[in-house]
Structure 1
Amino acid sequence: MLPQRHRRFITCTVAAAALGLVGAQSFAAADGARPAPWPARHQADIGRQHIEAVHAGRSPSAASEDDGSDEAENSAEATAQYTEARTAPGVVAPGAYGAAWDQLQSMRHTPGDWNHVTQKTYDSDDPRYRDINSNSSGGSGKVTGRITGVAADDHGYVYAGGANGGVFRSKTGGGHWQPIADALPSLSTGTLALDGSQRLWYATGEANTGATSFVGTGVYVLADPRHGQFRPGGRVGGAELESTVIHALRFAGTTVWAATSRGVWSHSTTRLAGPWKLEFAPNPEYLPGGSKASDPSAPYKNIANDIAVDPKDPAKVLLAVGWRGGDTYNGLYARQADGGWKPVSGLGDLPTNSDDVGNLTFAAAFDGSRLYAVDQSPAQTATNPDSGLKGVYVSRSGSPFGPWTRIADYSRLRASGSALQGAGYMPGIQSWYNEFLQVDPTDAGHVYLGLEEVFETKDGGTSWSTPGPYWNFGFPCWSIDPAKQTGDCSPTTHADQHAVAVGSYRGKAYAYVGNDGGIYRRPLNGTLDAGGHANDWQSLNDGTLDTLQYYSVGVGKDLTNGGVSVTGGLQDNGQSILRGHDRVMGSDFGGDGGDTITDPANGCDIAEEYVYLDMWVTQDCGVNDGSWTKDPSRATEYEVAPPDKDLGGDGARFIAPLASDAKDTGTWVAGGRHVWVQTKGFAIRSGAEWKSAFDLGAGHVATAVAASGGTVYAAWCGPCNNQGFARGIAVGNADGTGWHQLDLPVDGTVPNRYLSGFEVDPADAQHVYVAVNGFSRKWTEGPGAGVGHLFESRDGGAHWTDISAGLPDIPANSVKLLPGGGLALATDLAVFYRPAHSRTWRVLGGELPTTAVLQLKRGPDGDLYAATHGRGIWSFGPRRLSG
């Protein structure tokens, strides 16, 4: 029997996800504050069950009968948890991130530069790692991190915006990318757009419903995008759009419209100075400065998704407004003669009621003859386990006011060649997260639609095809055994679509799509294979575009090739592995990758988390010789999940903490509701070999763990959201003795915020550091928010001292002791360094982009490795530092 595990792309933790510059207004409302309830989250991973069924020769549809999984809820929970760390115990006021970035600019740097480790091609189909635990042979090929903005011109220039990686430019129709936004305070991409003058507009703040997306610092314009670089001085207007996410920019005459998380705004395109004008906010009392601005649900109350302007009369504007989870203000709004805005109805098939207007996207024909829309229904998302997609619509008059006709729903799209047939969910299951629309500039009936997959119609919606299926697993052309492959499975894109554009290179028009795996292109009028799927996709992820979103990093000696092997868990891109002297990274585990343990003495000994403590271990780097195709019991990868895995979110966080003992790599600690310990190291073969050292208590889940010489520290939260947020630290021995909860009063020294990382002095287990996430009391309205981001104890946690004076007030994620006693601290902004016996912090090195660093690890080569959530893995040689 095959292991009950397969990674799939659809748990798109936007982050969760995503991350972002949660420097101001957060999208992590408390569970009780969400405008609409989510259905109960199920444990079954239907994507995993589906592919396992294919491997085992069963009917794919039968795999979904065990448990009707709600894929969208899985992703929603992941996004909420990511942001909880940065916002609880309260709402974060606007300006927090900007203030931290301003302070960063005045700080000195240490000598030395960071080295970009993962600036190499990452092949998700690498045949070295083709087995039941990877996505290899799925068809998405070379990948990178989530791309949320795409723009292209008719001269071969293409622009791609990473979720938290900034903007990259290609002069060759895609490939050979160059970063052009690294001087900006925000690298979080909401959208990219070229205006009629071919200026490039960059709206910051990823808009995939926010929860794990970083907010931005406004909109920037680059007058000469083919040669220039974005600069802070190129910002449009003032600070009005700071700390928002921006869903769309739409141009009409000399006006640009912006749909943001704080309503709809407009600005002149000819005079870029002067403030943005707030056109419409449905609930202004929830805006910053309003009477309800501190309400936990405030971030959800003024979300605008898109704007449609009548091409025949620019004074006629239709706004699509509403939180994807549903609220009474959701709907379509039209501007009135007196300048006000009112809900509209009676537009034909296009929904206008609050229950069915959620994440909605418009796309207009170039000649104005048609207008298209795709809509996610909050009511359907909450009640329909198949899909949240309400439909795809067209206004054949070109007017936003219709009449509108529905031209597709999820059932029709499923029948067009979707890879999701029989998978237990259907197209649009994550339409609150995956949506794009693009009309062919030369043909008003030719439309590209992005959901989890890429769909296409060439006749205005009468018929549909699926040129970009989810993956090739399950198609007749595919077999897990390479010897049985028929060879006619065409390459496809990565799943989870976010951005689209049309451009030309050397006189040929292309469609460019951005998704959770990067950016791909195909001829605009491409061809299909016998299965109805495109046979002409090309990945543009050549390694120069590194927007990979790591949660973790692990480093060990490469005993075969020399040097070191570097691995790490990624948002929706599995576990990457880069062995010594490799020119291409491979993926030995698929789906989402979480925390990682690697043996420093042998980089092929790897323990890797999927989600919720679902752990797997390999002792051969995940390489298989093919014997498993004949005898699955001979597999060399083993599921070793602690029992908390079976409780899902009730037993562990989506990305749960793992660590090995600093003095004994054979002793591991894993944190869920319980603190789990196992002492067999990489020889573990079953989850039953874990022992519960301590129960953190009902409703409590671990946020960080560390161990040294048998002494274990475990930080926890519970509740973890804004409603009654609580945190604590438990300390005890790996053998289960001596456990106790530390006294951490809400008004004590250690803030009542998310505790994100420990470092234990290898010379003295009573000497410990804890990194604190979130923003300090100045910005956070919540009980016990406190001040500071790094605390030190020399008596096992009985007393703590704040040692973060001089640091920017920014969420801290990981702390590491360096040789000589110096400290490195990873934050959402940079890595900082303080020498031993000093109280002065500096920025560690140069060349590291301004993006979130989630984890620091020391390598056996002596280097410090940083896992960033947006720009890959970097290393720094601390040998030039004094202490």
Structure 2
Amino acid sequence: MPDRQHRRLLAIAVTLTAIGLTTTQAFAAPVPVPTTTATTHDGTTDGGDGGSDDAHDSMESTAQFTEARTAPGVVAPGAYGAAWAQLKSLPRTGGEWEHVTTKPYNADDPRYRDVNSNSSGGSGDVTGRITGLAADDDGHVYAGGADGGVFRSRTGGGDWEPIAEKLPSLSTGTLDLDGSGRLWYATGEANTGATTYVGTGVYVLADPKHGTFQPGDRVGGAELESTTIHALRFAGDKVWAATSRGVWSHSTTTLTGPWTLEFAPNPDYLPGGSKAADPSAPYKNIANDIAIDPKDPSKVVLAVGWRSGDTYNGFYSKAADGSWQRVGSLGDLPTDAANVGDVTFARSADGSRYYAIDESPAVMASNPDTGLKGVYVSRSGSPSGPWTLIADKDKLRNSGSALQGAGYQPGIQSWYNQFLQVDPANPDHVYAGLEEVFETTDGGGSWVTAAPYWNNPFPCWSIDPAKQTGDCSPTTHSDQHAAAIGTYRGRTSVYVGNDGGVYRRPVNGQLDAYGHGKDWTSLADGTIDTLQYYSVGVGKDPADPSGRGVIVSGGLQDNGESILRAHDKVMGSNFGGDGGDTIVDPNNGCNIAQEYVYLDMWVTQNCAVNNGSWLTDPAKATSFEVAPPDKDANAARFIAPLTTDPRNVNTWVAGGRHVWVQNKGFAIRSGSEWTSAYDLGAGHVATAVATVNGTVYAGWCGPCNNQGFTRGIAVGKTDGTGWHQLNLPVDGTLPNRYVSSFAVDENDAQHVVVAFSGFSRAWTEGPGAGIGHLFESHDGGTTWTDISANLPDVPADTVRLLPDGGIALGTDVAAFYRAPGESRFKVLGEDLPTTSVLQLRSGPDGKLYAATFGRGIWAIKTRRDG
């Protein structure tokens, strides 16, 4: 979704223009620099483009999510599989998890048209990122969430049901239906090109219309465990897989037996190779797609390379001696390493056309407006070409891109946003997904922007609550990842998957006066929940007459802040952009503080309810920016930690380079009201903070990537006194891994539990990786005891001390509970999907709430385990 400040200024500009005034604003446009560690940037000015900020933010978010799980080294294959196997062997507590976020989530909710919302932007109901789509001619649609598993619709979209719940990985790389109608599910989301969402291989469902995936449906052995899978391509009786560890193949008729490694450009960096421990190993064998000649399946072209550039980037085909050799020329489609990055292929049904999108590392490094090299066609139908350029950034922008004239550039995130879909009935009719959805009906001669980035810059836009999207046509969410074409009851539709879910329109749909599709429908009806929550907060609903109802809020990847009131039939979005950490007043859930990114905090005391009147009267705004001075990518994590004192809701602590404190609670109105309690030091940024009765614990890292990773814990007082760094040697009791969470005893601040992310040294080749994930201290951190006991060796994300004296822990595979007086953990409750639990929070209703990064928010009644 759009940059929050950009969104606000655009809205103001539209309104002022309408009443005869003008306003201008220059935006900082960080320039992505190719790197195999955390991306750096420098500030430039581009005259109004919010896009470069968004692109940099996306790169940082994926890099930082990954490094928290991998630093200080490289994680060996099989780590997640081993953790899942151990999970299945553990006993469970009683109780069932309740799925909280089961109602539609309306990003255009007219109740919340305040200064920071994306309301009236046009994307309507949303869910989390969809990275795989498949559809048949009998109304069946299959959608794969980034970390949410596979959902099936039997009605052409909607009324979804999950069908992959029993698999060890719910991370989607791609979904494909083969010629026999079988559904192939490749796990391991491949958008980042790194190891953020590794999977456990490829699974095949023989009867996808009725069946569900089972662990025994896996193709081959463990060869593709701990990989990401970019694409599956079929030819004859063979399936090809483009993965983060090279190109592999397998028989489609005999599903047993191992996968065959067809090509890896740098085999020494593969697991077991002489350079497997090198920090750059995850980036050395990335394959993005495979193109197969429809007239001769033995002729194959591989698109290989890391999105930010490496010497091995390029296209490869087989030579006469059977070896894979770099392709020297393909016509307009570049073949040099500097200009071949993330590539997507698509072939027409009749074999007469091949299409390709190419992201260029060189362009991404040098052009703040785009990373796109171009869209190409091979009119011979052969992947060997010759290829002809049919679109570049400027051609697409001039096609009616949403921000034409306002600075936005197509392809700014082409390393992250790509799909191609050819109409099976017309080889010249193509949908191309970047940040927006583009369409051509003449083989690339002309293009329209079928789904613009958002509606705000157009004269038809209005924030009037009576008009859901003003007079503009509905659009899709931004950031496109997958597409499919299918038929239901004689109507053929195109389906697109993006950071907001699944959208549908007739394959030969209508266009409005701006050249935008006027018939998009969101399929996020509340039955599909792939929402990716970083955080959750719960407070009493002041409007509930019973006094028992609660408001549940949470910060989401690219979908702002959701709010669900006690009697809502639809969730609303009261803060836009990315949603980070969240603070909610347990006594009044309309008191909400929400982080955008990098500590850019905003606060509301009325749930951010507004009818848009702030546009003409700024005094009527109901949300306020209160960011501390560390609001910067160089001074805070992308998702930076926030907390309150559980014994005093007015005391807040936030962590960037500094540990910031403010004591006005939700009445704060300015970032100047924060005080720096402690400077963590140059190059250090907070990863977790907690406070009780004036004592603060702050975990930090810096550098935070696996090259030179360091971590520490600082302890002190909210008034700035008594601060000191704990003695944490690399080879000491506590592992040299990412500090993810603290839980402090409300009755004794010297009693603290700390959780560590990453994997223990059995899986991580890095200095001081250590063992264990959960440690306890009764003397303020002077000494620690490993209490990990029987926990699976998997990243730990969030820890809570419960009122009954038990400990709850959220990890990348499940939530766990240790009863008071016991030493071993049990899996907490039934029915929680196998996905990352990033935050646990207790509600005033006696429930424990879990923010999952792929399957929404869940809650369970907390009780002493019997």
Same fold (TM over 0.5): yes
For the residue of structure 2 that corresponds to 1:312, the secondary structure is coil
**For residue 666 of structure 2, what is the amino acid of its counterpart?**
F
Would you say 1:608 and 2:594 are equivalent positions?
Answer: yes
Secondary structure in structure 2 of the residue aligned to 1:437: strand
Matched letter for residue 213 of structure 1: T
1:284 aligns with 2:262: no
Separation in 1 of the partners of 2:419 and 2:577? 22
- Deviation of the 1:634 alpha carbon: 2.6
| Among 576, 599, 606, the residue aligned to 2:585 | 599
Match among 838, 848, 862 for residue 822 of structure 2: 838
Residue 422 of structure 1: how far off its partner (Å):
3.3
Separation in 2 of the partners of 1:213 and 1:60? Answer: 41
Contact 1:10–1:495 (Cα < 8 Å) also in 2:
no
Aligned mate of 1:567, from 553, 559, 563: 553
Kindly provide the CA deviation profile for residues 232-289 of structure 1, in whole angstroms up to 9, marking residues without a partner as x: 1000011111110000000011110100001111111111011111111111111111
Matched residue, 2:31 = none
Aligned to 1:79: 62
Separation of aligned partners in 2, 1:380 and 1:432: 11
Tell me if 1:663 matches 2:668.
Answer: no
Paired residue type of 1:215: V
What is residue 693 of structure 2 aligned with on the other side?
A: 709
Alignment of 1:795-874 (within 5 A): 795-874=779-858
Q: In the alignment, is the contact (CA less than 8 A) between 1:54 and 1:60 conserved in 2?
A: no
The alignment covers a number of residue pairs equal to 840
How far apart in 2 are the matches of 1:781 and 1:46? 42
Distance 2:592 2:786 in 1: 35
Give matches, 1:450-849, under 5 Å. 450-482=433-465, 487-561=470-544, 562=547, 563-645=549-631, 648-849=632-833
CA distance in structure 2 between the aligned counterparts of 1:133 and 1:47, rounded to whole angstroms:
8
CA deviation string 1:418-459 (max 9, x = no partner): 013234330000000000001000100000000000000001
How far 1:175 sits from its partner (Å)? 0.4
Q: Which moved more, 1:247-256 or 1:52-61?
A: 52-61
Evaluate the alpha carbon distance shift between residue 521 and residue 485 of structure 1 in structure 2; reply closer, same or farther with a 3 A threshold: closer
**Alpha carbons of structure 1 residues 329 and 163: separation in structure 2 relative to 1, 3 Å:** same
How far is 1:486 from its partner?
9.2
Cα 1:336–1:396, aligned 2, differ >3 Å: closer, same or farther?
Answer: same
In the alignment, structure 1 segments of 5+ residues that lack a partner are 1-7, 12-44
Tell me if 1:429 matches 2:415: no
CA-CA distance at 1:71 after TM superposition: 3.7
Q: Which residue of 2 aligns with 1:207?
A: 190
Once the two structures are TM-superposed, the CA of residue 49 in structure 1 deviates from its matched residue by 5.2
**What amino acid is aligned across from residue 593 of structure 1 in structure 2?**
G
Look up the SS of the partner of 2:279 in the other structure: coil
**8 Å CA contact 1:90, 1:781 repeated in 2:** yes
2:467 and 2:197 map into 1 onto residues whose CA distance is 45
In the other structure, the counterpart of 1:196 is: 179
Q: Distance in 2 between matches of 1:463 and 1:59?
A: 33
The answer for the alignment partner of 1:181 in structure 2 is 164
Distance (whole Å) between structure 2 residues aligned to residue 142 and residue 375 of structure 1:
31
State the SS of the aligned residue for 2:630: helix
Instruction: Give the whole-Å Cα distance in 2 for the aligned partners of 1:555 and 1:486.
Output: 30
Aligned CA distance change for structure 1 residues 261 and 10 (closer, same or farther; 3 Å): farther
1:294-309 equivalent positions in 2, closer than 5 A:
294-309=277-292
Mapping 1:110-189, distance limit 5 Å:
110-189=93-172
Distance 1:214 1:480, change over 3 A: same
Measured in 2, the distance between the counterparts of 1:521 and 1:345 equals 40
Q: CA deviation at 1:335?
A: 1.1
Cα gap change, 1:634/1:800 in structure 2, threshold over 3 Å: closer, same or farther? same
C-alpha displacement of 1:54: 3.8
Offset of 1:554 from its aligned partner? Answer: 0.3
CA distance in 2, matches of 1:60, 1:451: 29
Which residue in the other structure is 1:343 paired with? 326
User: Displacement of 1:92 after TM fit?
Assistant: 1.1
Q: Percent identity?
A: 73
Listed as ranges, the matches of 1:313-392 within 5 Å are 313-392=296-375
RMSD (CA atoms): 1.5
Match of 1:220 among 203, 212, 224: 203
Contact persistence 1:50–1:63 (CA under 8 A): no
- Say if 1:173 and 1:358 are closer, same or farther in 2 by CA, change over 3 A: same
Matched residues in 1 for 2:310 and 2:22: separation?
Answer: 39
Of stretches 726-735 and 147-156 in structure 1, the one that deviates more from structure 2 is 726-735
Report the Cα distance in structure 1 between the residues aligned to 2:746 and 2:53, rounded to whole angstroms: 44
Q: Partners in 2 of 1:63 and 1:531 — Cα distance?
A: 26
1:148 & 1:141 partners in 2: Cα distance? Answer: 19
- Say if 1:768 and 1:485 are closer, same or farther in 2 by CA, change over 3 A: closer
Native 8 Å contact 2:8 2:115 kept in 1? no
Please state whether the residue corresponding to 1:767 is helix, strand or coil.
Answer: strand
Partners of 2:464 and 2:274 in 1: CA distance: 63
Displacement after TM superposition at 1:880 (Å): 5.8
Distance 1:96 1:50 in 2: 46
How far the C-alpha of 1:151 sits from its partner, in A, is 0.2
Would you say the 8 A contact 1:50–1:61 is kept in 2? Answer: no
User: 1:484/1:556 Cα in 2 relative to 1: closer, same or farther (>3 Å)?
Assistant: closer
Q: For 2:531 and 2:3, how far apart are their aligned partners in 1? A: 17
Call closer, same or farther: CA 1:626–1:301 in 2, change over 3 Å.
Answer: closer
Separation in structure 1 between the aligned mates of residue 466 and residue 178 of structure 2, nearest angstrom:
50
Amino acid at match of 1:662: P
The separation in 1 between residues aligned to 2:660 and 2:195, in whole angstroms, is 28
CA contact (8 A) 2:463 2:470 kept: no
Deviation, 1:163, is 0.0
CA contact 1:478–1:485 (8 Å) conserved in 2: no
In the TM superposition, residue 94 of structure 1 has moved relative to its aligned partner by 1.1
Kindly provide the amino acid, as one letter, of the partner of residue 824 in structure 1: A
| Mapped partners of 1:483, 1:579: distance in 2 | 21
Aligned to 2:34: none
Alignment partners' CA distance in 2, 1:415 and 1:160: 31
Distance 2:23 2:219 in 1: 51
CA distance in 1 between counterparts of 2:72 and 2:14 reads 45
What 5-or-longer segments of structure 2 have no aligned partner? 29-43, 47-51
TM-score (norm 1): 0.93
One-letter code of the match for 2:452?
Answer: P
Q: Distance in 1 between matches of 2:599 and 2:494?
A: 39
Counterpart CA distance in 1 for 2:12 and 2:701 is: 35
Q: How far 1:63 sits from its partner (Å)?
A: 3.8
Equivalent residue letter for 1:877: K
TM-score (norm 2): 0.95
For 2:569, the aligned partner's letter is R
Task: State the SS of the aligned residue for 1:355.
Answer: helix
Deviations 1:737-758 (A, max 9, x none): 1111111111111111100000
Deviation digits for residues 522-577 of structure 1 (CA, Å, limit 9, x no counterpart): 00000001111111001000011000000000000001025000000000000000
